Amino acid sequence: MTAEGSFPICAANGHDWRATEVGDFAWFAKHLSQTLVDEDGYVQRFTDVTCEPTNVNKQTILWKCLAKMTFFRVGGRIVMDQMTSVHLFNSKNPTFHFMTYLKGTKGGSYYSRVRIDIVESYCVDLSDPENSLIEDSDNSAHFKVDGVEMYLSKRVLGAHSHFFHAMFTRDFKEKAEDFYELKDIRLNGFLLFLEIVHSLNLSVDKSSYRSLTYIGAFFQCKLVLHLCEDFLLKDENIPLMDKIYVATRFRLNGVLLASIPEVTDKLWKKIRGKKWLSDFARDSFKEMMNFS
């Protein structure tokens, strides 16, 4: 859907931080701080704009919102300047950080108002039996995850997961009752999995790669495992020991082989006796590093 609305930005020391509804979302904007950059009087200012669904307290919401933000610097009744940014808001990235450099002492003119233009958005409540992911009644599956009930698309889940394909096609008790309870699965991780298979958010980061790798392996979902492997291959901030552990446990052999040249004698002495190190991993390390 598309929608637009504007509202003032709350001052850094202000307490009147009220939400403004634009579309299906609640919006907040607040100045955080300002820092004097140089002797010429330029000031670095920081402002956060946050978007969340109006029914964010519900545990079964999948959402994203692509929005254009126009920030206005106003003097009296005159618009002195304006800047525009575009951001894709979602559950992993609900806040846009706006930064400016302006000349003037503390308390001078700054960007005091923002207009939101929603370009594209998606917001679905999975607890609704007739949510937009369900094409027809035959395609609906009733789930319970971590104590929370929801209705999901059999076609989407079955297409991405051998686990779910078998669940929906074989003669299980759950199939006959058309009610499926997923045990040993946390709700937050499962919602991240659903965002990926529904192409709402394909990103993997430091805070989610462990849970997504576990879920990808549990549900036998190649797409999720591929995204996790790609993240681990590219991210240089994940400790090497952690990469090797995850790669070994979930058979991400591309990550394992890429890690071998980076292993030092000291690290090898730490990991070679670990029970979680597979025979394949141990043999690969020995062969490629010439360790014994």
Quickly count: other Cβ atoms within 10 Å of residue 216's Cβ.
Answer: 26
CA-angle at 238, arms to 232 and 240, nearest 5°:
90
Structure tokens at 146: 């971590």
pLDDT at 128 over 60: yes
What's the DSSP call for residue 274? Answer: -
85-115 pLDDT per residue, tens = 999 999 999 999 998 877 665 545 578 889 9
CA–CA distance, 228 with 205 (Å, rounded to integer) = 9
Give the model confidence (pLDDT) of 24-71 as tens digits. 999 999 988 766 666 777 778 889 999 999 987 789 999 999 999 999
Domain range summary for the chain, segments of one domain joined by +: 3-125, 137-291
Structural domain 137-291, CATH architecture: 2-Layer Sandwich (3.30)
pLDDT at 271 over 80: yes
Angle formed by the axes of helices 209-218 and 240-249, to 10°?
Answer: 10
Give the per-residue pLDDT at 174: 58
The answer to whether 179 touches 187, Cβ cutoff 8 Å, is no
Using only C-alpha atoms, the chain has a radius of gyration, in whole angstroms, of: 24
- Residue 71: helix, strand or coil by DSSP? strand
Angle at 101 between CA 96 and CA 105, to 5 degrees: 120
pLDDT at 74: 78
Cα distances (Å, whole numbers) of residue 51 to 27, 92, 120, 161: 5, 11, 13, 31
List CB contacts of 31: < 8 A, sequence separation 6 or more.
Answer: 9, 10, 11, 12, 45, 46, 47, 110
Least confident of 4-13, 159-168, 209-218, 250-259: 4-13
pLDDT of residue 292: 46
Q: What is the pLDDT of residue 178?
A: 76
Question: Strands, E, within 107-261: which ranges?
Answer: 111-125, 140-145, 148-153, 179-182
pLDDT at 73 over 70: yes
Give the torsion sign (CA, 202, 207, 213, 218): negative
- Which of 46-60, 138-152, 216-230 is the least confident region? 46-60
Q: Is the pLDDT of residue 152 over 90?
A: yes
Whole-prediction pTM value? 0.85
- For residue 192, how many other CB atoms are within 10 A of its CB? 22
Identify the helix (H) or strand (E) that includes residue 1.
none
Alpha-carbon span 73 to 292, nearest angstrom: 67
Q: Taking a C-beta distance cutoff of 8 angstroms, is the pair 87, 54 a contact?
A: no
Residues 131 and 143: beta-carbon distance below 8 Å: no
Topology classification of domain 3-125 = Immunoglobulin-like (2.60.40)
Nearest-angstrom CA–CA distance, 137 and 153 = 10
